[in-house]
Each structure stands twice: as C-alpha cells, then as structure tokens.
Homo-oligomer: A and B are copies of this chain.
Amino acid sequence: MANVKAAIPKGTRDFGPVVMNRRNYIFDTIKKVFRKYGYQEIQTPTMENLDTLTGKYGEEGDQLIFKILNSGEYLSDFEIKNQVINDLNDPTFAAASASLNLISKKDKSILELKLGHEDGIKRLVAYRKLTQQISEKALRYDLTVPFARYVVMHQHEITSPFKRFQIQPVWRADRPQKGRYREFYQCDADVVGSDSLLNEAEFVCIYDEALSLLGLKDFTIKINNRKILSGIAELIGKPNQIVDLTVAIDKLDKIALEGVEKELLEKGFERKDLDILKPVILLSGTNEEKLNALKSILSNSMIGLKGIEEIDKVFSYLKNFDLSNAKIQLDLTLARGLNYYTGCIFEVKTNEAAMGSIGGGGRYDDLTGMFGKEGLTGVGISFGADRIYDVLEELNLFPTDVTESTKVVICVFGEAEEAFAIPILNQLRRADISAELFPYGTKMKKQMQYANDKNIPYVIVIGGDEMQSGLLSLKNMETGEQVKVNIEEIMDKISSEKPPH
C-alpha cells in the first residue's frame, strides 16, 4: 500500500484533547441550561435526502450543499447517466436547457466569461443533470430544515409544545477562511406549537444564564420584531419591498447610514421614503422611550402595532425574570437575514471582545409548510459555539481544570514498584479519582514530562524507599511542592478538590 500524506480536507479541523475539553465545557454548559428550561435533545442523520434540502437555502445556498455520490446502486441506472453524458455533445439539448432557466443569472455570466456562452451553459446544465442522477443524498446544511422535517415526520409521536435542542455539525462548501469552516457545529433550541411570548422571554433567560455561566459579564441581547419592520415598510408605502428594506438596514453597522440610503435608492426607494425611515431607525433612548415613540409613528399600521405589542409583552415577562448579566436592547435596525422569521428576532453580542454576533434567532410562523404541515408556529435560538470559544479564549475565561484530564499519575522506578502501585491505583479509582499508572521501563524524567504535558496536577513517585516505608512521594505539579505521605493522606488531599470535567 502506497504511503499517503497525513492531511485533512481544507476547511475541516481535528480537535485535540485540550480543544475538545474546552468545546465540551461550552456545549455541556449550554446543554445544562437548555435542559433546565425543559428542552430535550434530539439528533438527526448527517445525510438527508437531497430533495429535503434543495430549494430551502436560496440559489447560493443550494450550491454550497455537499452532495454524496450514490454508492453501490450506480450500475442499475447507468443507462440514464449515459444519456446525460451523451446530452453533453448535443448542441440542441444545451440550447433547450438554457431556455428552461435551469441556471441562475450569476452562473450564466460567470460561464459566459470563462467558457463562452453556449459551451459554458451546455456544460453546466449537463453537470447539474448528471449530479441529479448520481447523487440523491447530501450533508446536513443547518439544523433548522432537518428539524422541520423531523417535526412533520414524527408529528404523531411528539409532545406539543415540542421543545427540542440539537447540537450537531453542519457542512457548507463555502470558501474556507479565518473563522469560517466547511464543517462546524450548530447549537440550536426551538419550541414549536406554542405562540406564547413566554417562550421568547425564556430564550432571553437561556442566553443570559448560559453566557453568564461561561463567565461572560457584559453582553447585549438585541431584540426587534419583523412586524415592526413590516409596519415601517407600510408607513413608507412599500409593503412589498420589506425584504429589500430589511436587507439594507441590517447593514447599518457595517456600511453606516449613507450606505443604507445608497442601497435603498438603488432598489427603487425614493428620497421621501428615506426621510420617513431615517428618524425611525435612528430612534434613541431607553427601550421604553423607543417603544412609545414607535407607537405613535406606527399608529396607522395594524401589523406594526402588533409587533410593538409583542415586544411589550416580552419586556413585561422579562421584568419578572431576574437576568444576571444580559443587557436587553430594542434595536430597530436588527433585521436578520433569514426570510422565515415573522415575529420577534434576537441577536447577541459581547461587549468584552470585538466579535460578530455570538447568538441569534427568532419566531417563524410556517417552518414546516415546506413538508406539508402548514401553520405550525415556533421560535428558536442558536449559540455560535466557535465564536464563543474564541471569546472565552481571548478573555481567558476557560477554568483551568477544564483542560485537566487525569488527576494523578503514579510514576515508578521498576517492575516491583509497578506491582506495588496497582493496589494504590485501584484505591484511587474506586474513589472516582481519575488516575494513571505509567508503565515501568521509562525514565523518571520522561514520566514527569508526561504529567506536565497532560496538565496532570499530582504525581505520586514510587521507588524502593517508598515501598519500604509505605510513605509515598506526592508532588504538586503546579507549586512544585513535594511531600512524603501515606495513601490515606493522598486520598484526602486529592479528593478535596473539584472533580475533573
């Protein structure tokens, strides 16, 4: 067998022990809070049927779905594939396919540039048709669509309202870059089947509790409501351009007011529209002051007032919950990209580090319609685990014992000492202390190095003296302190500490 270079696909990562422990610490903390609020874990398959996923993430999203080659069964339908392959060389086919609008404008223009008009389109169409023939499954692109599929598929088994959380990897064929991976974990909680705004309020509490447990002291949960944005679009007299409007004002942070105005003018909005919009999105003051101002601004918009009422209700719930560290901010420029949101939307930012949002979510009124079950309302949030990891690392918030694995390692000088050590090892483990015995035959220095590399806080050294006296050398690897004590004293010393993660 030829040697193969040990490498992994670009955009993917190995997680070694230290990183893994820290990731587990984050996920375990969030899971604990999800469970405390009554959310239950589910898992869905890594592979979904391709038709479950396509068409749900827009034209660009569809292209970022990793498709799995059919396997085993390919012989049976080889005829069809052969047909596709033959199509490649048939110019009338290409022309016909192009008129069927099978490919997007963007793809068309890229292809025209690269390969010349007809040839390019012909090839793309044939490639897509081939893909359909040789791939029926794809990797999960997010957790939301599989969740919607799950809810419909298991609608007669689930308890309503159904409160579920799900922490699993997703895959996107994006160009990898710093902080953007082709495989990454999503961490979602959703409740479907309840329109109560208590759910929204509790999601704020979940963010507050989980992020506070992780050591964050200063973070803001921004809240807005899609209905308020619809009200603003009504106010301007362009209710059908709600998407253009939200896409533009969502960028206020990045491109400033001038940028937003420029984009809206390009989309067909007029100066007078901007004059109405500007004071609304620039509203300042406390949440209450903003809401009061909005009430009069949107007094003629039914949907706008409904949005205000919803936010009001969430705020009134939140007065009765005691938040630890979260600041709640009504942010009228918060829009969030996803088009399925219909009510309250959230986004979480830390104020302690320069970082994009570390969480977000919102209410949707018809997520399961795509699978034939209409009108099921729900609301959900997501934690950005990779970003939270980076924040905790930057702020030095990982507890030191998170990276601790083994509590104590017994180092021995020879075979007799090894035999002597086994009952001690048993005693430690019986007390649920994570303990190792370094097999004899390795130099003491290397054994010590092992303890050091693995961040093991205690080392017991056993040589001839220790075997005779029964007093073992216990070294504290952090302080360097070394004492000779009996096993009972060792047990006391080590057990009095917190258990390892």
Binding site for B on A (CB under 8 A): 1-9, 12-17, 20-21, 24, 35-38, 40-49, 51-52, 55-56, 63-69, 71-72, 74-75, 78, 82, 85, 88, 110-111, 114, 123-124, 127, 131, 134-137, 139, 149-150, 152-154, 157-161, 163-164, 169, 171, 173, 175, 182-183, 194, 196, 198-199, 209, 317, 320-322, 370-372, 405-406, 409, 418-419, 422-423, 426, 429, 432-437, 439-441, 450, 453-454, 500
Q: State A467–B406 Cα separation when bound (angstroms).
A: 51
Contacts of A75 in B (CB 8 A): 110-111, 114, 123-124
Contacts of A9 in B (CB 8 A): 45, 47-49, 136-137
Q: Contacts A36-B434, A85-B88; is A43 near B14 (CB within 8 Å)?
A: yes
Determine the distance from Cα of A110 to Cα of B67 in the docked complex, in whole angstroms.
27
Return the chain B residue nearest A153 by Cβ: B6
A72 to B60, CA, bound (A): 11
Q: List 30 interface pairs A-B (beta carbons < 8 Å), by A numbering.
A: A1-B370, A3-B372, A4-B51, A6-B150, A9-B48, A14-B42, A14-B44, A20-B40, A21-B41, A35-B405, A35-B406, A37-B429, A38-B405, A38-B435, A38-B436, A40-B454, A46-B183, A66-B69, A66-B71, A69-B134, A71-B173, A75-B114, A78-B123, A85-B88, A161-B450, A163-B436, A196-B441, A320-B423, A320-B426, A321-B426
The distance in angstroms between the C-alpha atoms of A194 and B437, with both chains bound, is 12
A71: chain B residues at CB < 8 Å are: 63-67, 173
B14:A154 contact, CB within 8 angstroms: yes
Nearest 8 interchain pairs by C-beta: A196-B439, A12-B45, A17-B40, A38-B436, A71-B173, A6-B152, A6-B153, A159-B453
Closest to A65 in B: B71
Chain B residues positioned under 8 Å from A124 (CB to CB): 75
Name the distance in Å between A296's Cβ and chain B's nearest Cβ: 27
Kindly list 13 other residue pairs between chains A and B, CB separation below 8 angstroms, not including A6-B52, A9-B47.
Answer: A6-B150, A8-B45, A8-B149, A15-B42, A16-B42, A17-B41, A35-B434, A38-B409, A38-B436, A64-B71, A75-B124, A317-B422, A321-B422
Q: Which single residue of chain B is at the shortest CB-CB distance from A39?
A: B405
The reply to whether B371 and A5 form a contact with Cβ atoms under 8 Å apart is yes
* CB < 8 Å neighbour of A47 from B12, B194, B418: B12
